[in-house]
Chain A
């Protein structure tokens, strides 16, 4: 099975060197792209049906097609790699950056070429110091070989790439909040429209893409959209880096065909549950996705099928709930995170999530009441899409709304027994 994204990873977890990367065909996608018109690169990406790997799943080529092109287009235009991996339970972009930094850089150059961007930024989360070191070295190597900089490989196209170290806060993953952070401001989301493709960084056309998404782009250019489709088991193209954490036998990351069934990932790759534990549920794509349960185990892990099952593919990194872990406690932990990370801009979000967290905490402490269940259910509606400034709060209540449905008896027990049955 082909693994374009992770196939070159070294067993010792060191970064693939530039020489190794080139030997494996690295920077060939860039050479191919530079002989094409930018619009043709975008067309290939459109045909490949590559969708955003950061959580939202927006079609990448379509996003690029909104960028003004041609002589009259505003410049500088920007390409930003969203390397602010902070979705709890997600650890795939760190692996991509630490273990094959040139892959991200090549993906960025090709993507920047497609939208005729002048400047690129890698917006990196502050804790990823190893990624910073390895990317900084790889950028310098790429500049020395003229893969970056002025008149790249004699093509007439120029791109400067900067590495930006962030200083925390989950909201920076929201693309317009990220742009404010890059501009040196508090990371509040911006009103849309205008969309960043038209008016982003410093008011100029800007594309923001997740690390894993960008890592696919030059492979598509090199080998074609048909090849990319062929990697997948479903209509969404490519492979996906899936991950599993929680009390399974072998937690980890695996690059597999897009649409690999959840059961296969959990049982064949993650080795199933640890001895003596039963599977109760899973967050399929990070903290802001709805729980799925046993009846959904045969769901192919792609955008459409996970949505049909009632959740989202999100980042594709699953967090498993076992029968000896308290579902109410787990949801409290998730809402604690979201209440803390709310940027504070709009009232339903900062107030609603803090309220939600308090109720769940009280319930875990044996102080829950029946009325609390109504309040929690109300919050999931009150914080639904359309009522808040951005997608943060609607995502935050996804695990809560599904927990109320699938683990209703566990909530009930906390209230009836006035204690958490899982705590001594």
Chain B
């Protein structure tokens, strides 16, 4: 069941568009902001609200990389692997993150603290390498900085 808050947010945003289909992406992002991901159950709930089939919604969900169809940890770290960050050493950052957190890229730590995902260019190329945790940008990552950043997240 969607919460009252989720429904309210979706209904408010619906007025931005001439039809309900246009809300398919943002409605999933709203659910995800509340729950971390979009479950099969949420898809069914959204399909009722929007009058779209579950298959249609899942077709959209699986197209967009920022819509997550699997549960994630308490924090989601997006590590930029695009060209400027690559030149500035994002492979080293990745290796350190994976070993510090004990999870491969794409995985979630055993304690559910972090999910570590690759992401395309975050638009922080002048301060590469960069990553984003829960929507907050962390730049100029080096060995020491990475540990400092991780320590900010319980």
Across-interface contacts of B120 in A (CB, < 8 A): 86, 88, 168, 170, 337, 340-341
Does A85 belong to the interface (CB within 8 Å)?
A: yes
Q: How far is the CA of A244 from the CA of B66 in the complex (A)?
A: 27
Of A89, A183, A246, the most chain B CB neighbours within 10 A belong to: A89
B119 touching A333, Cβ below 8 Å: no
Most buried by B among A321, A336, A341: A336
Find B123's partner among A91, A165, A202, A319 (CB 8 Å cutoff). Answer: A91
Interface residue? A253 (CB, 8 A): yes
Chain B interfacial residues counted at CB < 8 A: 41
User: How many Å from the CB of B73 to the closest CB on chain A?
Assistant: 18
Instruction: Type the 1/0 row for B111-154, where 1 means its CB is closer than 8 Å to any CB of A.
Output: 00000000111111111100010011100000000000000000
Q: Type the 1/0 row for A236-257, where 1 means its CB is closer than 8 Å to any CB of B.
A: 0000000111110001110000
| Contact partner, A186, options B63, B84, B119, Cβ 8 Å | B63
- Within A242-275, the residues touching B (CB, 8 Å) are 243-247, 251-253
Interface residues of B in 1-34 (CB under 8 A from A): 16-19, 21-26, 28-29
In the assembled complex, A278 has its CB within 8 A of some CB on chain B:
no
Q: Could you say which residues of chain B place their CB within 8 Å of the CB of A406?
A: none
CA gap between A216 and B88 in the complex, in Å: 32
Within 8 Å of chain B (Cβ to Cβ): is A184? yes
Cβ B83 vs Cβ A88 within 8 A: yes
Return chain A residues, CB-CB under 8 Å to B132: 127
A321 closest partner in B (C-beta): B87
Tell me the nearest residue of chain B to A172, going by C-beta.
Answer: B64
Number of inter-chain CB pairs below 8 Å: 133
Cross-chain contact A183 with B21 (CB below 8 angstroms):
yes
Contact A86 B16 (CB under 8 A): no
A412 at interface by CB-CB < 8 Å: no
Chain B residue contacts of A330, Cβ below 8 A: 83, 86-87
Counting chain A residues whose Cβ lies within 8 A of the other chain, the interface size class is 35 or more
Verify if A169 is at the interface (C-beta below 8 Å from B): yes
For window 137-188 of chain A, which residues contact chain B by CB distance below 8 Å?
A: 162, 164-170, 181-187
Q: How far is the CA of A128 from the CA of B23 in the complex (A)?
A: 19
Complex CA–CA separation, A218 to B60 (angstroms): 37
Nearest CB to that of B86 among chain A residues?
Answer: A333
Query: Within 8 Å CB of B54, what residues of A?
Result: none
Q: Smallest distance from the beta carbon of B32 to chain A beta carbons, Å?
A: 9
Q: Are A88 and B60 in contact (CB under 8 A)?
A: no
Bound-complex Cα distance A130 to B138 (A): 13
- Chain B residues in 8 Å Cβ range of A213: none
Nearest CB on B from A364, distance (A): 11
Q: Judging by beta carbons under 8 Å apart, are A251 and B126 in contact? A: yes
Q: Is the CB of A246 within 8 A of B21?
A: no
Which residues of chain B are near A319, meaning CB under 8 Å? 83-84, 87, 125
Report which residue of B29, B60, B87 has the largest number of chain A beta carbons within 10 angstroms of its beta carbon.
Answer: B87
Say yes or no: A86-B121 contact (C-beta < 8 A), given A184-B60, A245-B84, A319-B83: yes
8 further interface pairs, Cβ-Cβ under 8 Å (given A90-B121, A246-B87): A89-B125, A93-B123, A127-B122, A184-B21, A184-B23, A319-B125, A334-B83, A340-B120
Name 20 A/B residue pairs within 8 A (Cβ), A-sorted: A87-B121, A88-B84, A88-B121, A90-B125, A127-B132, A128-B123, A167-B28, A167-B67, A169-B64, A181-B25, A183-B21, A184-B21, A184-B60, A243-B126, A247-B87, A251-B128, A287-B121, A321-B87, A330-B87, A337-B82
